[in-house]
Structure 1
Amino acid sequence: MSDYTLYSYFRSSCTARVRIALYLKGVTCDDIPINLLKNEHASSKHKELNPSGTVPLLVNNSSGFKIGQSVAALEYLEETHPEHSLLPKDAQARATIRQLVNIIACDIQPVTNLRIMRQVRSLGGVAENWNLALTTDGLQAYEAVAQGCAGKYSFADEVSLADCVLVPAVWNAQRFGVDMSKFPVIQGIMKNMEELDAVKRARYMVQSDTPEDLKQSK
Protein backbone atom coordinates (compact mmCIF):
# COMPACT_ATOMS: atom_id res chain seq x y z
CA MET A 1 0.00 0.00 0.00
CA SER A 2 1.22 3.48 -0.80
CA ASP A 3 2.06 5.87 2.03
CA TYR A 4 -0.50 8.48 0.97
CA THR A 5 -3.50 9.16 -1.23
CA LEU A 6 -3.63 12.48 -3.04
CA TYR A 7 -6.95 13.84 -4.28
CA SER A 8 -5.86 15.95 -7.21
CA TYR A 9 -6.51 17.70 -10.49
CA PHE A 10 -3.92 17.57 -13.24
CA ARG A 11 -3.65 21.35 -13.64
CA SER A 12 -3.92 22.32 -9.99
CA SER A 13 -0.82 24.26 -8.99
CA CYS A 14 -1.50 23.55 -5.32
CA THR A 15 -1.58 19.83 -6.03
CA ALA A 16 1.64 20.06 -8.05
CA ARG A 17 3.40 21.60 -5.05
CA VAL A 18 2.60 18.57 -2.95
CA ARG A 19 3.47 16.15 -5.74
CA ILE A 20 6.93 17.68 -6.11
CA ALA A 21 7.58 17.40 -2.37
CA LEU A 22 6.36 13.80 -2.26
CA TYR A 23 8.58 12.83 -5.16
CA LEU A 24 11.61 14.67 -3.76
CA LYS A 25 11.21 12.79 -0.49
CA GLY A 26 10.63 9.44 -2.17
CA VAL A 27 7.23 9.03 -0.54
CA THR A 28 4.76 6.78 -2.35
CA CYS A 29 1.33 8.12 -3.24
CA ASP A 30 -1.85 7.07 -5.05
CA ASP A 31 -3.83 9.62 -7.06
CA ILE A 32 -7.59 10.08 -7.01
CA PRO A 33 -8.48 12.65 -9.69
CA ILE A 34 -11.10 15.29 -8.89
CA ASN A 35 -12.30 17.14 -11.99
CA LEU A 36 -12.56 20.83 -11.16
CA LEU A 37 -14.16 21.70 -14.49
CA LYS A 38 -17.00 19.28 -13.65
CA ASN A 39 -17.26 20.76 -10.13
CA GLU A 40 -16.47 17.42 -8.51
CA HIS A 41 -14.62 19.34 -5.78
CA ALA A 42 -17.93 20.93 -4.75
CA SER A 43 -19.75 17.63 -4.33
CA SER A 44 -21.03 16.63 -0.90
CA LYS A 45 -18.90 13.47 -1.16
CA HIS A 46 -15.69 15.46 -1.57
CA LYS A 47 -16.65 18.06 1.03
CA GLU A 48 -17.11 15.28 3.58
CA LEU A 49 -13.41 14.57 3.10
CA ASN A 50 -12.27 18.18 2.66
CA PRO A 51 -14.67 20.83 3.98
CA SER A 52 -12.89 23.48 1.90
CA GLY A 53 -14.10 21.76 -1.24
CA THR A 54 -10.68 22.06 -2.85
CA VAL A 55 -7.71 20.05 -4.03
CA PRO A 56 -5.27 18.83 -3.04
CA LEU A 57 -6.36 16.64 -0.19
CA LEU A 58 -3.53 14.54 1.24
CA VAL A 59 -4.51 11.44 3.22
CA ASN A 60 -2.10 9.38 5.32
CA ASN A 61 -3.09 5.83 4.42
CA SER A 62 -1.83 4.38 7.70
CA SER A 63 -3.59 6.73 10.10
CA GLY A 64 -6.35 8.20 7.94
CA PHE A 65 -5.15 11.70 8.83
CA LYS A 66 -6.30 14.24 6.21
CA ILE A 67 -4.85 17.61 5.21
CA GLY A 68 -6.87 19.82 2.89
CA GLN A 69 -4.48 22.74 2.40
CA SER A 70 -1.32 22.45 0.33
CA VAL A 71 1.08 24.50 2.46
CA ALA A 72 -0.02 22.64 5.60
CA ALA A 73 0.56 19.40 3.69
CA LEU A 74 4.07 20.54 2.71
CA GLU A 75 4.92 21.39 6.31
CA TYR A 76 3.48 18.07 7.50
CA LEU A 77 5.56 16.11 5.00
CA GLU A 78 8.66 18.03 6.07
CA GLU A 79 8.04 17.21 9.73
CA THR A 80 7.09 13.55 9.25
CA HIS A 81 9.60 12.77 6.49
CA PRO A 82 12.69 14.79 7.43
CA GLU A 83 14.83 12.89 4.95
CA HIS A 84 15.67 15.04 1.92
CA SER A 85 14.83 18.08 4.03
CA LEU A 86 13.18 21.03 2.30
CA LEU A 87 13.82 23.50 5.15
CA PRO A 88 17.23 24.40 6.58
CA LYS A 89 17.83 24.55 10.34
CA ASP A 90 18.67 28.25 10.53
CA ALA A 91 15.66 30.27 11.70
CA GLN A 92 16.29 33.22 9.38
CA ALA A 93 16.71 30.94 6.39
CA ARG A 94 13.47 29.13 7.22
CA ALA A 95 11.63 32.45 7.56
CA THR A 96 12.95 33.64 4.19
CA ILE A 97 11.83 30.41 2.52
CA ARG A 98 8.40 30.71 4.11
CA GLN A 99 8.20 34.31 2.90
CA LEU A 100 8.83 33.09 -0.67
CA VAL A 101 6.25 30.32 -0.22
CA ASN A 102 3.65 32.82 0.92
CA ILE A 103 4.27 35.25 -1.93
CA ILE A 104 2.98 32.47 -4.19
CA ALA A 105 0.52 30.80 -1.84
CA CYS A 106 -1.06 33.97 -0.41
CA ASP A 107 -0.48 36.74 -2.97
CA ILE A 108 -0.75 34.97 -6.33
CA GLN A 109 -2.65 31.68 -6.24
CA PRO A 110 -5.76 32.67 -4.25
CA VAL A 111 -6.59 35.56 -6.59
CA THR A 112 -5.88 33.70 -9.85
CA ASN A 113 -7.48 30.31 -9.27
CA LEU A 114 -10.40 28.80 -11.18
CA ARG A 115 -13.03 30.09 -8.76
CA ILE A 116 -11.79 33.66 -9.12
CA MET A 117 -11.47 33.35 -12.90
CA ARG A 118 -15.09 32.27 -13.08
CA GLN A 119 -16.13 35.24 -10.94
CA VAL A 120 -14.14 37.69 -13.08
CA ARG A 121 -15.85 36.35 -16.20
CA SER A 122 -19.27 36.58 -14.58
CA LEU A 123 -18.60 40.29 -13.99
CA GLY A 124 -17.67 40.80 -17.62
CA GLY A 125 -13.90 40.84 -17.19
CA VAL A 126 -11.18 38.96 -19.05
CA ALA A 127 -9.89 36.43 -16.54
CA GLU A 128 -6.70 35.76 -18.47
CA ASN A 129 -5.71 39.45 -18.34
CA TRP A 130 -6.52 39.52 -14.63
CA ASN A 131 -4.27 36.52 -14.03
CA LEU A 132 -1.46 37.93 -16.13
CA ALA A 133 -1.40 41.20 -14.19
CA LEU A 134 -1.63 39.71 -10.70
CA THR A 135 0.83 36.91 -11.41
CA THR A 136 3.33 39.42 -12.80
CA ASP A 137 3.00 41.53 -9.64
CA GLY A 138 3.59 38.51 -7.41
CA LEU A 139 6.57 37.24 -9.37
CA GLN A 140 8.15 40.69 -9.18
CA ALA A 141 8.07 40.38 -5.38
CA TYR A 142 9.45 36.83 -5.50
CA GLU A 143 12.25 37.93 -7.83
CA ALA A 144 13.19 40.81 -5.51
CA VAL A 145 13.43 38.58 -2.45
CA ALA A 146 15.17 35.75 -4.30
CA GLN A 147 17.84 38.11 -5.63
CA GLY A 148 19.24 38.29 -2.13
CA CYS A 149 19.26 34.57 -1.33
CA ALA A 150 19.10 32.43 -4.47
CA GLY A 151 21.83 30.09 -5.65
CA LYS A 152 20.95 27.16 -7.87
CA TYR A 153 17.52 27.27 -6.25
CA SER A 154 15.36 29.82 -4.45
CA PHE A 155 17.46 29.69 -1.30
CA ALA A 156 21.14 28.89 -1.88
CA ASP A 157 21.96 25.57 -3.52
CA GLU A 158 19.46 23.21 -1.89
CA VAL A 159 15.88 22.61 -3.04
CA SER A 160 13.38 23.99 -0.54
CA LEU A 161 9.64 24.32 -0.02
CA ALA A 162 9.86 27.62 -1.89
CA ASP A 163 10.94 25.80 -5.04
CA CYS A 164 8.10 23.29 -4.72
CA VAL A 165 5.65 26.19 -4.70
CA LEU A 166 7.40 28.31 -7.33
CA VAL A 167 7.54 25.73 -10.12
CA PRO A 168 3.77 25.29 -10.72
CA ALA A 169 3.28 29.04 -10.31
CA VAL A 170 5.68 29.60 -13.19
CA TRP A 171 3.92 26.95 -15.27
CA ASN A 172 0.71 28.95 -14.78
CA ALA A 173 2.50 32.21 -15.53
CA GLN A 174 3.73 30.81 -18.82
CA ARG A 175 0.23 29.60 -19.63
CA PHE A 176 -1.21 33.09 -19.14
CA GLY A 177 1.48 34.87 -21.14
CA VAL A 178 3.61 36.42 -18.40
CA ASP A 179 6.87 37.76 -19.83
CA MET A 180 9.30 35.57 -17.91
CA SER A 181 12.32 37.40 -19.36
CA LYS A 182 11.61 40.04 -16.69
CA PHE A 183 12.58 37.52 -14.02
CA PRO A 184 16.13 36.25 -14.66
CA VAL A 185 16.60 34.88 -11.14
CA ILE A 186 13.38 32.87 -11.37
CA GLN A 187 14.33 31.67 -14.84
CA GLY A 188 17.64 30.34 -13.50
CA ILE A 189 15.90 28.56 -10.64
CA MET A 190 13.37 27.02 -13.04
CA LYS A 191 16.11 25.75 -15.36
CA ASN A 192 17.67 23.85 -12.46
CA MET A 193 14.34 22.64 -11.05
CA GLU A 194 13.11 21.29 -14.38
CA GLU A 195 16.13 19.01 -14.57
CA LEU A 196 14.91 17.14 -11.48
CA ASP A 197 13.00 13.88 -11.92
CA ALA A 198 10.51 14.94 -9.22
CA VAL A 199 9.53 17.99 -11.26
CA LYS A 200 9.30 16.04 -14.51
CA ARG A 201 6.95 13.56 -12.83
CA ALA A 202 4.80 16.38 -11.41
CA ARG A 203 4.22 18.19 -14.72
CA TYR A 204 0.63 18.93 -15.61
CA MET A 205 0.84 17.11 -18.92
CA VAL A 206 1.86 13.70 -17.57
CA GLN A 207 -0.79 13.07 -14.91
CA SER A 208 -3.30 10.22 -14.96
CA ASP A 209 -6.20 12.63 -15.55
CA THR A 210 -4.48 14.84 -18.13
CA PRO A 211 -6.75 14.91 -21.23
CA GLU A 212 -5.31 12.91 -24.10
CA ASP A 213 -5.19 15.89 -26.47
CA LEU A 214 -2.98 17.77 -23.99
CA LYS A 215 -0.75 14.75 -23.44
CA GLN A 216 -0.21 14.56 -27.19
CA SER A 217 0.74 18.23 -27.36
CA LYS A 218 3.20 18.20 -24.46
Structure 2
Amino acid sequence: MSEAQVTLYTYFRSSCSARLRIALHLKNIQYTPVFVNLLRDEQTTPAHRSINPSGTVPTLFVQRPHQEQPPVIITQSLAALEYLDEAFPDQGPKLLPPDPETRVLVRTLAQIIGCDVQPVTNLRILKRVAPMGADRTVWSKDLIEDGLCAYETLASSSAGRFSVGDQITMADVCLAPAVWGAERVGVDLSAFPTIHRIAQNLEKEDAVQRGHWQTQPDTPEELRAK
Protein backbone atom coordinates (compact mmCIF):
# COMPACT_ATOMS: atom_id res chain seq x y z
CA MET A 1 0.00 0.00 0.00
CA SER A 2 3.05 2.30 0.15
CA GLU A 3 2.36 3.56 -3.39
CA ALA A 4 -1.29 4.30 -2.73
CA GLN A 5 -2.52 7.79 -3.55
CA VAL A 6 -4.38 9.13 -0.54
CA THR A 7 -6.80 12.07 -0.56
CA LEU A 8 -8.47 13.52 2.52
CA TYR A 9 -11.58 15.67 2.28
CA THR A 10 -11.19 17.86 5.34
CA TYR A 11 -12.16 21.06 7.15
CA PHE A 12 -9.73 22.75 9.50
CA ARG A 13 -12.03 22.80 12.52
CA SER A 14 -13.62 19.40 12.01
CA SER A 15 -12.55 17.17 14.89
CA CYS A 16 -13.30 14.06 12.84
CA SER A 17 -11.04 15.35 10.07
CA ALA A 18 -8.36 16.11 12.66
CA ARG A 19 -8.37 12.47 13.78
CA LEU A 20 -7.39 11.39 10.30
CA ARG A 21 -4.86 14.19 9.84
CA ILE A 22 -3.11 13.10 13.03
CA ALA A 23 -3.21 9.42 12.07
CA LEU A 24 -1.87 10.07 8.58
CA HIS A 25 1.02 12.07 10.02
CA LEU A 26 1.69 9.40 12.66
CA LYS A 27 1.95 6.79 9.95
CA ASN A 28 3.97 9.01 7.61
CA ILE A 29 1.37 8.62 4.88
CA GLN A 30 1.52 11.38 2.31
CA TYR A 31 -1.91 12.71 1.40
CA THR A 32 -3.54 15.38 -0.67
CA PRO A 33 -6.08 17.53 1.21
CA VAL A 34 -9.29 18.69 -0.42
CA PHE A 35 -10.83 21.48 1.62
CA VAL A 36 -14.57 21.48 2.29
CA ASN A 37 -15.85 24.63 3.98
CA LEU A 38 -18.62 23.62 6.36
CA LEU A 39 -19.66 27.20 7.05
CA ARG A 40 -20.42 27.62 3.36
CA ASP A 41 -22.34 24.32 3.31
CA GLU A 42 -19.97 22.89 0.73
CA GLN A 43 -20.47 19.48 2.36
CA THR A 44 -24.12 19.44 1.24
CA THR A 45 -23.54 20.08 -2.47
CA PRO A 46 -24.47 17.35 -4.94
CA ALA A 47 -20.82 17.07 -5.95
CA HIS A 48 -19.74 16.36 -2.39
CA ARG A 49 -22.65 14.04 -1.64
CA SER A 50 -21.66 11.98 -4.67
CA ILE A 51 -18.47 11.22 -2.72
CA ASN A 52 -19.87 11.24 0.80
CA PRO A 53 -23.63 10.53 0.88
CA SER A 54 -23.82 11.67 4.50
CA GLY A 55 -22.85 15.20 3.49
CA THR A 56 -20.06 15.35 6.07
CA VAL A 57 -16.31 15.37 6.44
CA PRO A 58 -13.94 13.67 6.49
CA THR A 59 -13.80 11.35 3.54
CA LEU A 60 -10.72 9.21 3.03
CA PHE A 61 -10.11 8.35 -0.62
CA VAL A 62 -7.41 5.76 -1.35
CA GLN A 63 -6.43 4.81 -4.89
CA ARG A 64 -4.54 1.56 -4.63
CA PRO A 65 -1.37 0.94 -6.67
CA HIS A 66 -3.12 -1.08 -9.35
CA GLN A 67 -5.24 1.51 -11.10
CA GLU A 68 -7.73 -1.04 -12.38
CA GLN A 69 -8.85 -1.61 -8.80
CA PRO A 70 -11.63 0.70 -7.63
CA PRO A 71 -10.64 3.30 -5.03
CA VAL A 72 -11.38 2.77 -1.38
CA ILE A 73 -13.74 5.48 -0.12
CA ILE A 74 -14.40 5.70 3.63
CA THR A 75 -16.84 8.27 4.98
CA GLN A 76 -16.64 7.54 8.72
CA SER A 77 -13.55 8.54 10.67
CA LEU A 78 -13.39 5.59 13.08
CA ALA A 79 -13.68 3.12 10.22
CA ALA A 80 -11.01 5.08 8.34
CA LEU A 81 -8.65 4.93 11.33
CA GLU A 82 -8.98 1.16 11.52
CA TYR A 83 -8.46 0.91 7.77
CA LEU A 84 -5.22 2.91 7.97
CA ASP A 85 -3.98 0.61 10.72
CA GLU A 86 -4.76 -2.51 8.67
CA ALA A 87 -3.80 -1.26 5.20
CA PHE A 88 -0.52 0.36 6.29
CA PRO A 89 0.65 -2.07 8.99
CA ASP A 90 4.36 -1.32 8.63
CA GLN A 91 4.09 2.46 8.73
CA GLY A 92 4.19 4.27 12.04
CA PRO A 93 2.70 3.07 15.32
CA LYS A 94 -0.15 0.60 15.52
CA LEU A 95 -3.29 2.48 16.45
CA LEU A 96 -4.93 -0.67 17.80
CA PRO A 97 -3.07 -3.00 20.20
CA PRO A 98 -2.58 -6.66 19.23
CA ASP A 99 -4.39 -8.30 22.16
CA PRO A 100 -8.20 -8.27 22.19
CA GLU A 101 -8.61 -7.02 25.76
CA THR A 102 -6.49 -3.91 25.27
CA ARG A 103 -7.86 -3.40 21.78
CA VAL A 104 -11.45 -3.33 23.00
CA LEU A 105 -10.51 -0.78 25.67
CA VAL A 106 -8.97 1.47 23.00
CA ARG A 107 -12.08 1.09 20.86
CA THR A 108 -14.31 1.87 23.85
CA LEU A 109 -12.43 5.09 24.64
CA ALA A 110 -12.44 6.11 20.97
CA GLN A 111 -16.17 5.50 20.75
CA ILE A 112 -16.89 7.58 23.85
CA ILE A 113 -15.55 10.50 21.84
CA GLY A 114 -16.79 9.33 18.45
CA CYS A 115 -20.30 8.27 19.49
CA ASP A 116 -21.18 10.06 22.74
CA VAL A 117 -19.49 13.45 22.42
CA GLN A 118 -18.81 14.52 18.85
CA PRO A 119 -22.13 13.72 17.12
CA VAL A 120 -24.26 15.73 19.54
CA THR A 121 -21.94 18.75 19.54
CA ASN A 122 -21.15 19.06 15.84
CA LEU A 123 -22.22 21.96 13.65
CA ARG A 124 -25.18 20.14 12.12
CA ILE A 125 -26.74 19.50 15.52
CA LEU A 126 -25.90 22.96 16.89
CA LYS A 127 -27.76 24.52 13.97
CA ARG A 128 -30.83 22.50 14.91
CA VAL A 129 -30.88 23.20 18.64
CA ALA A 130 -30.29 26.96 18.35
CA PRO A 131 -33.86 27.70 17.08
CA MET A 132 -35.17 25.78 20.09
CA GLY A 133 -33.57 28.32 22.37
CA ALA A 134 -30.57 26.28 23.39
CA ASP A 135 -27.35 28.14 24.05
CA ARG A 136 -24.90 26.42 21.73
CA THR A 137 -21.91 26.87 24.04
CA VAL A 138 -23.75 25.64 27.14
CA TRP A 139 -25.17 22.70 25.19
CA SER A 140 -21.74 21.68 23.93
CA LYS A 141 -19.98 22.24 27.26
CA ASP A 142 -22.42 20.06 29.21
CA LEU A 143 -22.29 17.18 26.73
CA ILE A 144 -18.52 17.33 26.36
CA GLU A 145 -18.07 17.27 30.12
CA ASP A 146 -20.34 14.21 30.38
CA GLY A 147 -18.26 12.37 27.81
CA LEU A 148 -14.92 13.41 29.28
CA CYS A 149 -16.11 12.23 32.71
CA ALA A 150 -16.67 8.74 31.30
CA TYR A 151 -13.34 8.82 29.46
CA GLU A 152 -11.53 10.01 32.60
CA THR A 153 -12.98 7.17 34.67
CA LEU A 154 -11.73 4.49 32.29
CA ALA A 155 -8.43 6.10 31.38
CA SER A 156 -7.46 6.74 34.99
CA SER A 157 -6.84 2.99 35.29
CA SER A 158 -5.22 2.42 31.89
CA ALA A 159 -3.17 5.52 31.18
CA GLY A 160 0.58 5.82 31.02
CA ARG A 161 1.91 8.68 28.95
CA PHE A 162 -1.18 8.26 26.80
CA SER A 163 -4.68 6.86 27.22
CA VAL A 164 -3.69 3.19 27.24
CA GLY A 165 -0.10 2.79 28.34
CA ASP A 166 2.78 4.67 26.77
CA GLN A 167 1.91 4.19 23.10
CA ILE A 168 -0.36 6.48 21.11
CA THR A 169 -3.49 4.62 20.05
CA MET A 170 -6.72 5.33 18.22
CA ALA A 171 -8.13 6.56 21.54
CA ASP A 172 -5.58 9.38 21.69
CA VAL A 173 -6.08 10.27 18.05
CA CYS A 174 -9.75 10.87 18.92
CA LEU A 175 -9.06 12.52 22.28
CA ALA A 176 -6.75 15.30 21.07
CA PRO A 177 -9.32 17.02 18.80
CA ALA A 178 -12.00 16.52 21.46
CA VAL A 179 -9.81 18.40 23.94
CA TRP A 180 -9.40 21.26 21.45
CA GLY A 181 -13.18 21.43 21.15
CA ALA A 182 -13.58 21.31 24.92
CA GLU A 183 -11.20 24.22 25.36
CA ARG A 184 -13.10 26.28 22.80
CA VAL A 185 -16.31 26.10 24.86
CA GLY A 186 -14.64 26.73 28.21
CA VAL A 187 -14.33 23.25 29.72
CA ASP A 188 -11.97 23.30 32.70
CA LEU A 189 -9.62 20.40 31.98
CA SER A 190 -8.24 20.48 35.51
CA ALA A 191 -11.44 18.66 36.48
CA PHE A 192 -10.13 15.75 34.39
CA PRO A 193 -6.53 15.29 35.59
CA THR A 194 -5.80 12.14 33.61
CA ILE A 195 -7.10 13.62 30.38
CA HIS A 196 -5.27 16.86 31.07
CA ARG A 197 -1.97 15.03 31.52
CA ILE A 198 -2.50 12.90 28.41
CA ALA A 199 -3.41 15.99 26.38
CA GLN A 200 -0.22 17.75 27.47
CA ASN A 201 1.81 14.75 26.31
CA LEU A 202 -0.07 14.59 23.01
CA GLU A 203 0.60 18.26 22.28
CA LYS A 204 4.33 17.51 22.24
CA GLU A 205 3.91 15.03 19.38
CA ASP A 206 4.79 16.26 15.90
CA ALA A 207 1.84 14.48 14.29
CA VAL A 208 -0.59 16.15 16.68
CA GLN A 209 0.93 19.57 16.07
CA ARG A 210 0.73 19.05 12.31
CA GLY A 211 -2.90 17.92 12.58
CA HIS A 212 -3.98 20.85 14.78
CA TRP A 213 -6.77 23.02 13.44
CA GLN A 214 -4.64 26.16 13.77
CA THR A 215 -1.96 24.86 11.40
CA GLN A 216 -4.01 23.81 8.38
CA PRO A 217 -3.78 25.41 4.92
CA ASP A 218 -7.50 26.26 5.08
CA THR A 219 -7.29 27.84 8.54
CA PRO A 220 -8.18 31.54 8.21
CA GLU A 221 -5.19 33.78 8.79
CA GLU A 222 -6.68 35.38 11.91
CA LEU A 223 -7.06 31.94 13.55
CA ARG A 224 -3.64 30.55 12.70
CA ALA A 225 -1.15 29.67 15.41
CA LYS A 226 1.23 32.60 15.92
Please tell me the TM-score bracket, short chain as reference: over 0.9
Give CA-to-partner distance per residue, 1:73-93, whole Å, 9 cap, x none: 001001111132111111100
Alignment of 1:154 with 2:156, yes or no, is: no
2:137 paired residue number: 128
- Cα distance in 2 for partners of 1:2, 1:193 equals 28
Alignment of 1:72 with 2:79, yes or no, is: yes
Q: What letter corresponds to residue 33 of structure 2 in structure 1?
A: D
Q: What letter corresponds to residue 42 of structure 2 in structure 1?
A: E
With normalisation by structure 1, the TM-score equals: 0.97
- Cα distance in 1 for partners of 2:97, 2:40 equals 40
- Cα distance in 2 for partners of 1:209, 1:64 equals 25
- Cα distance in 2 for partners of 1:3, 1:100 equals 30
Q: What letter corresponds to residue 50 of structure 1 in structure 2?
A: N
In the comparison of the two structures, how many residue pairs are matched? 217
- Cα distance in 2 for partners of 1:150, 1:44 equals 44
Show structure 2 runs of 5+ residues with no match.
Answer: 65-69
Cα distance, 1:212 vs structure 2: 1.0
Q: What letter corresponds to residue 27 of structure 1 in structure 2?
A: I
Cα distance, 1:3 vs structure 2: 2.9
Cα distance, 1:2 vs structure 2: 6.9
Q: What letter corresponds to residue 183 of structure 1 in structure 2?
A: F
- Cα distance in 1 for partners of 2:172, 2:5 equals 23
Percent identity for Structure 1 against Structure 2: 48
2:172 paired residue number: 163
**Which of the numbers 194, 197, 218 marks the counterpart of 1:209?**
218
- Cα distance in 1 for partners of 2:4, 2:96 equals 24
Point out 4+ residue stretches in structure 1 off by more than 2 angstroms. Answer: none
Q: Secondary structure of 2:61's match?
A: strand
**Which of the numbers 20, 25, 35 marks the counterpart of 1:23?**
25
Cα distance, 1:120 vs structure 2: 1.2
Is 1:4–1:61's contact at 8 Å kept on the other side of the alignment? yes
Matches within 5 A, 1:6-155: 6-62=8-64, 63-83=70-90, 84-155=93-164
Task: Name which of structure 1's ranges 46-55 and 82-91 shifts more when overlaid on structure 2.
Answer: 82-91
Show structure 1 runs of 5+ residues with no match.
Answer: none
Cα distance, 1:68 vs structure 2: 0.5
- Cα distance in 1 for partners of 2:143, 2:21 equals 25
Cα distance, 1:124 vs structure 2: 1.6
- Cα distance in 2 for partners of 1:93, 1:67 equals 25
Q: Secondary structure of 1:54's match?
A: coil
Q: What letter corresponds to residue 73 of structure 1 in structure 2?
A: A
RMSD between aligned residues: 1.1
Cα distance, 1:23 vs structure 2: 0.5
Is 2:4–2:62's contact at 8 Å kept on the other side of the alignment? no
Q: What letter corresponds to residue 3 of structure 1 in structure 2?
A: Q
- Cα distance in 2 for partners of 1:193, 1:37 equals 28
2:67 paired residue number: none
Task: Name which of structure 1's ranges 106-115 and 75-84 shifts more when overlaid on structure 2.
Answer: 75-84
- Cα distance in 1 for partners of 2:42, 2:202 equals 31
Give CA-to-partner distance per residue, 1:60-108, whole Å, 9 cap, x none: 0335211000001001001111132111111100000000000000000
